Amino acid sequence: MKNTNFVFADKLTSIIKHHYKNCNKYKKILDFLNYNFKKKYKLEDQPFLPINLFKEHDLVSVPKNKIYKTLNSSGTTSNKLSKIYLDRENSYNQVKTLSQIVTKVLGKKRLPMLIIDGLHDVKNKFNLNAKVAAINGFSIFGSNHTYILNENKKINYKLLNIFLNKYADQPFFIFGFTFNVYKNLLKNFNPKLIKKDFSNGILIHGGGWKKMEKLKVNSQHFKKKLKKHINIRSIFNYYGLIEQTGSIFLECPGCNCLTTNEYSEVLIRDKDFQILPPGEKGFIQLLSLLPTSYPGHIILTEDIGEIVENNKECKICKFNKKFIIHGRHEKSEIRGCSDV
Amino acid sequence: MTYNNKVEYLVGNSKIKKKAIEPYNIDVCNFLIDLSKKLASSKYSKDFSDIKTLAFWCRKNEIFKFRDRFISNEFRLGLGLLFHITPSNIPTNFAYSLIFGLLTGNSNIVKVPSKDFKQIGIICSCINEILKKKYKKVREMISIVRYSNNDEFTKKISNQCNARLIWGGDKTISTIRSFPIDQKTLDITFPDRYSFCIINSDKLLALSKKNIQILSERFYNDTYLVDQNACSSPHLICWIGKNTKKGKKLFWQNVFQIVKKKYDLNESAAIEKLTNLYGSVLSSAKIKNFKKFGNLMYILELKKLDQKNHEFRGKWGFFYEFEAFNLNQIKNFINNRYQTLSYFGIEKKILKNFIFKNYLKGIDRVVPIGQTLDMNFFWDGYDINKILTRVIDIR
């Protein structure tokens, strides 16, 4: 385990160097922090950027003409959107990494894919927001993509039955945002209206848990209910930032914790930004080896979580670092005279 | 006049009278004195220091002091109906605006921020309790409303009122101004302002240990008490004197001791502070030094001042500082955004000369450290007593 840690730290250092050389704004911040490339930094001492900096500033580490795609954050907390600039290489690495993580649960073969969203919603976007980016990203692991929400955001049972009749006897892939899955496959779903069930389905869901927070449904509870309601057995929650697309964290089916992988790391900090030990709640800091066209490799989020001590009791994720999320810290909303 | 379109009446109703009476009417004064007592005794005032401050501000002695200061040789009456659009940065601000209006003899429709501050509820219920039993005349002069996105209401009231008091940012002010008013109606604006502080390090170093602590505590009250959100809270500290290095160090250490004891930094404020810090790094290349005391206190020293200083605003204990050595180094950067200058260790006369000799475009208020948040009938360069009343020239 230590070895892989070193590999990660080394790779991270070279990514920091790359951004320092290629992103003037990033260089300004590191110079301000008196960053010294001759020094060996511990992972936790490497400089992190607060997530909202991507909302206020354009941060790019490649020449403008190399950018071929811009991702926007969903922007639920403020009106400003994060802008993530991607070149082809970065984009390719995202796909490759996502694939390595996701094929662990889906297998190498493309599976028929059910998307708990509306085609209408997805195709009508000019800009690539987080939602569309995620659906597009996961779509490459599926075939025969079927969007089952109609224009009123309700399940089209006719379409669903066609899909299930064709594919329900073999493994198939279901993707959706947590709240959409909750609303459409649990709360408003009528199992009597389908002829075949979801027992061969593999569900990957994530994002939108801010709405879930309000409902006070935790991940475990959610899983149990879904199993009971539609007889689905393989359910994986994921957590990821649009700023670090690709290196997502999948929930371990054994212990329900989110786990890191060879492309990512997680740290927890208190409000003085001191590192917190396992079991203590604080801000989630995420590290990823993927971002090269923008300096999103070390980000301090406003999400609250805690590291879970790996006592090796779970056979599935013995060697991974594990963590859980508790939600987002409530914004202090006072913003000066300008907001009436 | 009736409106029902999502307009919530916290005090009064739509049947407010458009009434202009003499300033400092005795019923109005007594009502405010009762309100002060109620707010001070309220079980809530111990939880909200800003309610306590408000209660103290409209206590009997203070009201009569305001009245004595008003006494003028002219005959004056209120303007009539005032429409107050109050800001969301300071929860009790609407009450001050209302008191300005009442004491000057006006009827008031006060729009409070849509954000549900507890203080607003407390103050309004205290007002309601008092008005239930007494002060029929005053009752007809107050209506406190909360609404959002109701252009129809804003339009109607704008049309009827005799003056609008608009507190807020540039955007709010221009939005409100897009609703037409009567030819004779006044718009009095209180836009976003910028405030700073000047400290003479030599005088600071001559203070006793105890007095430095007192000064630091006053500075704390000017800043941390309102998360630096008030327009009059300083964002920039200018140091003058010979021994600025030593003075600075001593001052910040003392302030930090108080902050450590008293201040509870909001979690998300910590991240926003870091975002603001990096934002400053990216937009201004003139940083000389940076010092932080955990996440509780950030001090960013600037090499140079320029015309855009007022755009850099600290919050939650984020200060910009500049070693000016003498006042002449500062004068060129003071524009009409500058509101309050708080000071220590400089003679009042010198500051007066500084403003008058240089015909400075900004600085409406000069107060010792510790008094920046004291509301006054001179505000943002206006004389509230005069601007909210009408002179009747009788010969």
Over the stretch A73-108, which tens digit does the pLDDT of each residue have? 755 555 677 888 988 889 888 888 998 888 888 888
Task: Report which residue type is found at B92.
Answer: T
CA distance B321 to chain A (A): 17
**B169 has a chain A CB within 8 A of its CB:** yes
Structure tokens at B79: 């303007």
Let me know: does B51 contact B77? Beta carbons within 8 Å: no
Mean pLDDT, rounded, for A232-258 = 87
Domains of chain B: 8-192+380-392 (3.40.605.10), 194-368 (3.40.309.10)
Tell me whether residues B268 and A332 touch, CB distance under 8 A: yes
Of A51, A300, A340, the CB nearest to B87: A340
Widest CA span in chain A: 66
A330 CB neighbours in chain B (<8 A) are 268
Tell me whether residues A338 and B172 touch, CB distance under 8 A: yes
Cα distance between residue A208 and residue B319, in whole Å = 36
Q: Exposed (0-12), middle (13-18) or buried (19+): which is B379, by Cβ within 10 Å?
A: buried
A338 CB neighbours in chain B (<8 A) are 168-172, 192
Of A25, A271, A332, the CB nearest to B295: A271
Let me know: does A72 contact A82? Beta carbons within 8 Å: yes
A332 CB neighbours in chain B (<8 A) are 227, 266, 268-269
Tell me whether residues B169 and A338 touch, CB distance under 8 A: yes
Which comes out higher in pLDDT, residue A275 or A185? A275
DSSP B35-64: HHHHHHHSTTTTT-HHHHHHHHHTSHHHHH
Pick from B290, B295, B233, B237: which is nearest to B264 by CA? B295
B111 CB neighbours in chain A (<8 A) are 340
**B229 has a chain A CB within 8 A of its CB:** yes
DSSP state of A193: G
Structure tokens at A14: 């070279």
Q: List residues bridging with B179 in a β-sheet.
A: none
Q: Which of A35, A51, A340 to mutate to test the interface with B (most CBs of B within 10 A)?
A: A340
Task: Report which residue type is found at B35.
Answer: L
CA distance A25 to chain B (A): 6
Pick from A308, A285, A305: which is nearest to A297 by CA? A285
A142-147 and A111-115 strand pairing: parallel
Output the pLDDT for position A78: 53
Other CB atoms closer than 10 Å to residue B76's CB: what's the count? 21
Q: Which residue of B has its CA nearest to A48?
A: B274
Let me know: does B346 contact B204? Beta carbons within 8 Å: no
Let me know: does B188 contact B101? Beta carbons within 8 Å: no
Pick from B227, B222, B202, B384: which is nearest to B314 by CA? B227
Output the pLDDT for position B141: 95
Coil/strand/helix, residue A70? strand
User: What value of ipTM does the predicted structure carry?
Assistant: 0.87
DSSP state of A76: -
Output the pLDDT for position A338: 31
Pick from A170, A169, A122: which is nearest to A149 by CA? A122
**B275 has a chain A CB within 8 A of its CB:** yes
Which comes out higher in pLDDT, residue A339 or A285? A285
Q: Which residue of A has its CA nearest to B169?
A: A338
Let me know: does A177 contact A131? Beta carbons within 8 Å: yes
A336 CB neighbours in chain B (<8 A) are 89, 169, 192, 229, 313
Mean pLDDT, rounded, for A68-74 = 78
Q: By a Cβ cutoff of 8 Å, what residues of chain A touch chain B?
A: 25, 28-29, 32, 49-53, 56-57, 271-273, 283, 300, 302, 304, 329-340
- Give the CA angle between residues B342, B348, B350 to the nearest 5°: 105
Give how far Cα A186 sits from Cα of A115, A197, A218, A221, A329, Å. Answer: 15, 13, 14, 12, 27
CA distance B230 to chain A (A): 7
Q: Tell me, rounded to whole angstroms, the distance of Cα A190 from its chain centroid.
A: 29
Cα distance between residue A313 and residue A311, in whole Å = 5
CA distance A3 to chain B (A): 32
**B115 has a chain A CB within 8 A of its CB:** yes
A268 CB neighbours in chain B (<8 A) are none
Of B190, B231, B271, the CB nearest to A50: B271
DSSP A94-137: HHHHHHHHHHHHH-SS-EEEEESS-HHHHHT-SSEEHHHHHHHH
**B294 has a chain A CB within 8 A of its CB:** yes
Cα distance between residue A154 and residue A150, in whole Å = 6
Pick from B55, B97, B60, B35: which is nearest to B387 by CA? B97
- Give the CA angle between residues B35, B36, B41 to the nearest 5°: 100
Of B270, B278, B285, the CB nearest to A29: B278
Query: A2-25+55-328 has which fold?
Result: Rossmann fold (3.40.50)
Q: Which residue of B has its CA nearest to A24?
A: B282
Cα distance between residue A67 and residue A55, in whole Å = 18
Residue pairs spanning A and B at CB distance below 8 A: 102
Widest CA span in chain B: 67
What is the b/e burial string over A72-83, where b = at least 16 CB atoms within 10 angstroms of the residue's CB? bbbeeeeeebbb
Q: Which of B151, B165, B278, B295 to mutate to test the interface with A (most CBs of A within 10 A)?
A: B278
**B269 has a chain A CB within 8 A of its CB:** yes
Cα distance between residue B282 and residue B280, in whole Å = 5
A80 CB neighbours in chain B (<8 A) are none
**B149 has a chain A CB within 8 A of its CB:** no
| % of chain A beyond a pLDDT of 70 | 89
Place of tokens 């850099």: B312
Predicted confidence band at A254 (pLDDT cuts at 50, 70, 90)?
confident
Which comes out higher in pLDDT, residue A336 or B17? B17
**B353 has a chain A CB within 8 A of its CB:** no
Let me know: does B238 contact B321? Beta carbons within 8 Å: yes
Task: Report which residue type is found at B189.
Answer: T
**H or E element that contains B30:** helix B26-41
**H or E element that contains B205:** helix B201-205
Place of tokens 């010979």: B242
Cα distance between residue A85 and residue A61, in whole Å = 9
Structure tokens at A9: 């730290």
B190 CB neighbours in chain A (<8 A) are 337
Count of residues in chain A = 340
Structure tokens at B332: 């060129």
Tell me whether residues B278 and A53 touch, CB distance under 8 A: yes
Structure tokens at B13: 């109703």
Output the pLDDT for position A128: 63
B163-168 and B234-240 strand pairing: unpaired
Per-residue pLDDT for chain B (395 aa), expressed as one digit of tens each?
444 458 899 999 888 888 899 999 999 999 999 999 999 887 777 788 889 889 999 999 999 999 998 887 889 999 999 999 998 878 899 999 999 999 999 999 999 998 888 899 999 999 999 999 899 999 999 999 999 878 899 999 999 999 999 998 888 899 999 999 999 999 999 998 999 999 999 999 999 999 999 999 999 999 998 899 888 999 999 999 999 999 999 999 999 999 999 998 988 899 999 999 999 999 866 899 999 999 999 999 999 888 888 888 889 999 999 999 888 888 889 999 999 999 999 999 999 999 999 999 999 999 999 999 888 899 999 999 999 999 999 98
A25 CB neighbours in chain B (<8 A) are 282
Place of tokens 């309004």: B124
A207 — phi, psi (to 5°)? 65, 175
**pTM to 2 decimal places:** 0.87
- In the predicted structure, residue A171 carries a pLDDT above the cut 80: yes
Average pLDDT, whole number, for chain A? 84
Cα distance between residue B174 and residue B117, in whole Å = 25
Of B168, B269, B290, the CB nearest to A337: B168
Cα distance between residue B350 and residue B341, in whole Å = 13
Contacts of B240 (CB under 8 A, 6+ apart): B198, B199, B200, B201, B324, B325, B326, B327, B346
CA distance B23 to chain A (A): 29
Structure tokens at B17: 């009278």
**B379 has a chain A CB within 8 A of its CB:** no
DSSP state of A185: I
